[in-house]
Structure 1
Amino acid sequence: MPFVSIRDLRIAFDEVTVLHGIDLDIDPGEAVGLVGESGCGKSVTWLGALGLLPRKARVAGSVTLQGMELIGAPRERMESVRGARIAMIFQDPASSLNPVHRIGRQICESLRLHRGLRGQAARAEAIRLLDMVGIPSANTRIDLYPHEFSGGQCQRIMIAMALAGQPDLLIADEPTTALDATIQAQILDLLADLRCQTGMAMVFISHDLGAVSAVCDRAAVMYAGRIVESGEIGALFRTPRHPYTRGLFDAIPDMQTPRGPLVPIHGTVPDPAHLPAGCAFAPRCGRASDLCREFGPDLKPIPQGGQVACFHPIPLPQRQKAFA
């Protein structure tokens, strides 16, 4: 049984639908990546699942946590889930940490809410969590303010706060976007190590395909509020079948060959209020036909494993066809 199961999740703001029926399962202990351009619905999927969207958002569908429905659940049930069962690391630690409170107080607040720890017991556990995420001299720096830490250290503090409730699932929403390459690598290693130590599942939301491949077992590619392809990391990265997924890989500069022109995906992500008829990617796709411009493909399993939503998926190389 999946730990979290999302079925036909749809989200709209002011009558504009931004999420068009997401289906996704997260098994206990696995790491799943969500990939796609800005505005494709990666973060909104989980904000909607956890009831963190503003009141004007209309959320429909089903999100179950080990069989317990979360969509439309009473406030008390959601408060028992958020932080304790499912924790989320937000994209910008500078705006997530309260600048007028010491970091120790902020971590201890999570420990009090989710685990009932107070006083010296909470302080000792906060120091242990800071040590776990690699904050040096945690026993003295616990009384500092957020501005006294670097960006990478603030991200580590956010991870420590997320771990305070001992969650079964950690949602990491682009946790390395604002960091330089060296610190990004350290945060990715930290997340992988913590997953091994705690056995928690993880959803890693990112634009960075390399980061996703480093920490995830499986990935789902999103475009214009839909999942267009999903599968195991190895197969998805080796032979992407959807033209959009292929375009994401082609746009990555090749550092092993002489410098050449970049290969962009021409066009832009469509406005959710004015989506084209048929497949939303058709106006940018070199394989699109009249069928694509008239009808939207469903996400369906493919014989080689995984799922793809495309009427004209990219063919497998001949050698792989022989073993399919």
Structure 2
Amino acid sequence: MANLIEIRDLRVAFDGVPVLHGIDLDIAAGEALGLVGESGCGKSVTWLAALSLLPAKARVEGSVRLEASELAGASRSRLETVRGGRVAMIFQDPASALNPVQRVGKQLCEALRLHRGLRGSAGRAAALELMDMVGIPDARGRFGLFPHEFSGGQCQRLMIAMALAGEPDLLIADEPTTALDATIQAQILDLLARLRREMSMAMVFISHDLGAVAQVCERVCVMYAGRIVEQGPVGQLFEIPRHPYTRGLFDALPRLDGPRIPLTPIPGTVPDPRKMPRGCAFAPRCAHARDFCQSEQPDLLPQRDGRYLACAYPLPEAATAIRSKEEVLQ
């Protein structure tokens, strides 16, 4: 399957402080990719940088190719045709992403005018169709309401509708279920999975919720301190995580089956970008670190089983098999 987007050696620095350290990432047409890791690992920054949405003080280097077209350094007019058109993004907080002083119908119509050239009655009809598609009840009656008159879950559905207005090839969902209760989270995940299939979109699902990633993604990348440390098919990586950080994420995940056992948190925190360790960024928190890890940062390299791994001393398969994708979903 051909790659829709290719990211090569993407690096970001704020005020001279590096926060992304050479991200390489491919997304195939129609693929669902999960991006997981603790807060501060660089998940959202990766895609904000790829779409040139970071503030002017950020220094961005590297290549971002959408099919044959280079987006890094592209003109503003070129980027405006890509954002919302070829690539759409659902931001973390729908309440702040929606304009609080504009009626939701007007906001949807504006997106349809910009990306599909629809105006007047045609734009209104398309906006109502989008509201119906994402499950907003009584779309016609609520077309003229303001964002504060919708619940949190409905605001997220409206953000999804706006993202779909341009019929994108790639949808980036940045923590789309944050602050939603469990029932609404499940509904939003089902909605995203259904829309991706129906519209044949690729999707990047950014989350720290491993269960959500297992539900909607086919491949997963684990990020730590501005680097990808492990990637592979969801089933393979969930059943046999090889990187100690990936294993730590699973050990900290509560289990609903079997006897109650204490969670095992990862000690410490993600390092401050201004005070990065000399060697492997995870070494200060890793129970398996050796002297080599304190001085050398391992590269992300292909493994015999098809995954990619950035670890000098990966966990042996026999010692790390823990649970299946289905168990994570329970």
| Aligned equivalent of 2:261 | 260
Take 2:318 and 2:273, find their aligned partners in 1: how far apart are those partners? 35
| Aligned equivalent of 1:277 | 278
In the superposition, the TM-score normalised over structure 2's length comes to 0.96
- Aligned positions of 1:108-127 closer than 5 A: 108-127=109-128
Aligned-partner residue type, residue 111 of structure 2: S
Take 1:101 and 1:267, find their aligned partners in 2: how far apart are those partners? 44
SS in 2 for 1:3: strand
SS in 1 for 2:153: helix
What is the alpha-carbon root mean square deviation over aligned residues? 1.1
SS in 2 for 1:179: coil
Deviation by residue 1:127-156 (Cα, 9 ceiling, x = unmatched): 000000000111111111111110000000
| Aligned equivalent of 1:164 | 165
Kept in 1, the 8 Å contact 2:21–2:227? The answer is: yes
| Aligned equivalent of 2:31 | 30
| Aligned equivalent of 1:76 | 77
| Aligned equivalent of 2:326 | none
SS in 1 for 2:191: helix
| Aligned equivalent of 2:91 | 90
SS in 2 for 1:53: coil
**Structure 1 residue 318: Cα displacement:** 8.0
SS in 1 for 2:114: helix
**Structure 1 residue 257: Cα displacement:** 2.7
Kept in 1, the 8 Å contact 2:242–2:320? The answer is: no
SS in 2 for 1:25: strand
| Aligned equivalent of 1:17 | 18
**Structure 1 residue 262: Cα displacement:** 1.5
Take 1:12 and 1:68, find their aligned partners in 2: how far apart are those partners? 24
Take 1:86 and 1:185, find their aligned partners in 2: how far apart are those partners? 24
Take 1:282 and 1:318, find their aligned partners in 2: how far apart are those partners? 20
Take 2:203 and 2:109, find their aligned partners in 1: how far apart are those partners? 23
SS in 1 for 2:112: helix
| Aligned equivalent of 1:316 | 317
Say whether 1:214 aligns with 2:252. Answer: no
SS in 2 for 1:221: strand
Aligned-partner residue type, residue 131 of structure 1: D
Take 1:260 and 1:73, find their aligned partners in 2: how far apart are those partners? 52
Which blocks of at least 5 consecutive residues in structure 1 are unaligned?
A: none
In the superposition, the TM-score normalised over structure 1's length comes to 0.97
Take 2:255 and 2:34, find their aligned partners in 1: how far apart are those partners? 22
Q: Percent identity?
A: 70
Kept in 1, the 8 Å contact 2:247–2:320? The answer is: no
Distance 1:106 1:64, change over 3 A: same
Kept in 1, the 8 Å contact 2:33–2:221? The answer is: yes
**Structure 1 residue 197: Cα displacement:** 0.5
| Aligned equivalent of 2:183 | 182
Take 2:112 and 2:254, find their aligned partners in 1: how far apart are those partners? 44
SS in 2 for 1:292: helix
Kept in 1, the 8 Å contact 2:217–2:234? The answer is: yes
**Deviation >3 Å, runs of 4+:** none
SS in 1 for 2:3: coil
**Structure 1 residue 259: Cα displacement:** 2.5
| Aligned equivalent of 2:327 | none
